[in-house]
A and B are shown apart, each in its own frame.
Chain A
Amino acid sequence: MKYMLMMNAPRGNGEWGVSNWSAEDLKRHIGFMKSFARELHASGGLVGAEGLASPGQARVVRAGKHGAPEVTDGPFPEAKEFLAGYWIVDCESTGRAYEIAARASAAPGQGGKPLNMPIEVREVMSAPPVEV
């Protein structure tokens, strides 16, 4: 079964929470994310993962007149969290997906304290089962 693990990062007081961290905190956080990705990849369960560019670059698009794009800044300036990136993992059970999500959630933040970021876990829809 495939699951999408969506990392919702704190926005902090500025545009981007991490931009105010100390060099040491940054290094620890980046190091964790890198070894986490390597580990997931080595386990064979990683389908895909992407980090998203900063929320300041996010735009919301709706179809306007004649289908032309209508672009506004977005998405929600008042939101405390934003989607920072995601992993898609293929694992045997929901429990395993939760374990992976918990590891990601505990990524080190300022002073090395676990961030306990909310990780939204959603199962990816699949093809209909084989008829027997």
Chain B
Amino acid sequence: MTGPAAEGLLRELAPQVLGAVIRRFGDFAASEDAVQEALIAAAGQWPREGIPDNPRGWLIQVAVRRMTDHLRAESARRRRESLVAIPEDQQLAPAPDEPPERDDTLILLFMCCHPALTRASAIALTLRAVGGLTTAEIANAFLVPEATMAQRISRAKQRIKASGLPFRLPTPEERAERLGAVLHVLYLIFNEGYASSIGPALQRADLASEAIRLTRAVHRLLPRDGEVAGLLALLLLTDARREARTGPDGELIPLAEQDRNLWDRGAIAEGIGLVSGALSNGSIGSYQLQAAIAALHDEAARSEDTDWPQILALYGLLARMADNPMVALNQAIAAAMVHGPATGLDLLKRLEGDERLAGHYRLDAVRAHLLERAGDRDAAIVHYRAAAGKTTSIPERDYLLAQAARLAAPGA
């Protein structure tokens, strides 16, 4: 088996191994460290020496050995300090070939995406404990030094330890809120990969793929949950446009100008199937609605074939579900496509006083776009430039400046 295949297997097994080790020892933080060490050992050894016959058992055995060493060192320290020792028989022997009784991926996701953690911590911890990524890989994906990421992960684990969170699924009462938090973290991981808000690279493909892989795992475990299916559909339908979204020099290409031949038809078909199935079950949720909107974009053979009236109706439903100014902005764009730019600009006026949008570049960018469509070139230039001065994404800034420059060119 080659290196990448071994890596894929390791990432697949990571949550199962961690679940087994936690069930044996109870200590999430220390177990997570031990599993990380086992994964690193395997990543070095397997490509060289071949995959063991029972890879899961191999990883559990190595992690349990690390864990036992850790407990011995701890108990020796405690003996020195207070003469209270952990009995030897509490350091259980491994049973590495025992088959997985259940998939602990969900419990781990609920744990790592706990609302008590900051979003940044939850994202980092999820990628490590459930995604099986190394700290170095996560640090690299977020463009921060490894020591910074290691500290973030270790603080997140301390926080989980301090909260005394039991290793089990949430109660039925907590479930909806906790699943919402899990889906939100997965969505943020995807977004970080897809539309990175920092740094020079617009897309960091590995994070987007990782978010899809994890969401797929959740969908496998909860196949009847409409919002899980909706999120997976949304991610697939958005990611399907990845190749078309940037030009040869990494410049941003907006939806209307993308080469639709580059869109991933397989991902689109899968996404449409998922969202249609979820909506026909009678459930409705914001991820399903967003996926339905993405599907309408992806189904249009040409930009001008887009079913804007249907998209406008879906944004109307979304706006009723949650008071979100970003939804209102997109609704204004859809309204402009259906009823003309003046209607869109009217809707934007209502958003001007919204504190949540104050100073946000998207409001200026949308206004510039609608002003341009309305034929008000000078005002459009002003707003494109204002938006460029506010965005913190380099590709977005370059795109907005190019729009302003295009309109300002003589003869434009």
Contact = CB atoms under 8 A, between A and B. Distances in A.
B402 A26 contact: yes
A19 interface: yes
A67 interface: no
A100 interface: no
B401 interface: yes
Contact of A30 (B390, B398, B404, B406): B398
15 contacts: A16-B385, A16-B388, A22-B405, A22-B408, A23-B402, A23-B405, A26-B398, A26-B402, A26-B405, A27-B402, A30-B251, A34-B249, A51-B200, A53-B390, A54-B390
Interface string B379-412: 0000001001111101000100110111011000
Nearest to A23: B405
A56 interface: yes
Contacts of B199: 50
- Chain A contact surface mostly: helix
Interface of B: 199-200, 249-251, 385, 388-392, 394, 398, 401-402, 404-406, 408-409
Contacts of B406: 23
A57 interface: yes
Contacts of B409: 22-23
B401 A56 contact: no
A34 B250 contact: yes
Contacts of A53: 390-392
A15 interface: yes
A18 interface: yes
Lowest 10 CB-CB distances: which A-B pairs, in order?
A23-B405, A54-B389, A19-B385, A53-B392, A56-B389, A23-B406, A30-B398, A26-B405, A22-B405, A23-B402
A27 B250 CA distance: 12
Contacts of A26: 398, 401-402, 405
B164 to A, nearest CB: 33
A16 B398 contact: no
Contact of B404 (A15, A19, A27, A37): A19
A112 interface: no
Nearest to B407: A23
Interface in A47-72: 50-51, 53-54, 56-57
Contacts of B385: 14, 16, 19
Contacts of A37: 200
